Structure 1
Amino acid sequence: MEDSRLNKSKTSKLKVYSDFELNSSQLYQLVDHINKAEISLTQISNDKVRIKSLVDNSSSDIFKANLDFHLRLHSELATLKSKSWFSLLKNKRKSESKSLEILKGLKDNPNINSFLKSQIGISSLDMISQLHFVTHKKGEVTAYHNSLQSDQQHQMKISVEEFNDIFNSIRKSKQSTFAESFLKSHQIKLVGTCLAKAASFKSHNFILIGTRNEFIPFAKNEIERFNIFSQITLPLFDMMLQTKTESQLVQKLKEILNQIESNSLNLKKIHSEYHVQRVSLLGELLNTLRHELSNPLFGIQLSANLLAEEFQGDDKELAEQIQEAVNKSLKILNGFSKLYGPMDQVQNVSVISLINEVFTLTKSETKMLEREINVSPNLMEENAAVEITTNSTSLSQIFFNLILNSSQAMQDQTDPKPKITISLERDLTDIKIIFSDNGPGIPVQNIDEIFDSFYTTKETGTGLGLPICRSLVRKLGGDMWCVKNDKGAQFVLVLPHEGLVS
Structure 2
Amino acid sequence: MISHEVHGGPSHPFASLNWLNAGVIHLDSQGWLTIYNDLAAQLLDITAELEVPIRIEECFATTREEYKLLHHILTSKAEVRNQLITWAENGRIRHVLIDSYRVDTGVYLVMKDLGDFVLLDQHLQRTDKLAVVGKVAAGIAHEIRNPLTTVRGFLQVMMNRLSGREMDEEEEYLRMMVKEVDKVESLVKELLLLSKPHRTARRHCQLGQLVRRLQPLILEQAAEKKVRVEFIIDGDIPHVVGDEELLSHVIIQLVENALDAMEVDGQLTVRVCRENHVVRLDVRDTGPGIPYYHMDQVFDAFFTTKEKGTGLGLPICQKIVADHGGEIHVSSKGFGTTFSVLLPAAESASA
Shared fold (TM-score, shorter chain, > 0.5): no
Higher normalized helix content (fraction of residues): 1
The two structures have a TM-score, normalised by structure 2, of: 0.44
- Give the structure, 1 or 2, with the largest relative contact order (CA under 8 Å, sep 6 or more): 2
**Bigger Cα Rg:** 1
The two structures have a TM-score, normalised by structure 1, of: 0.34
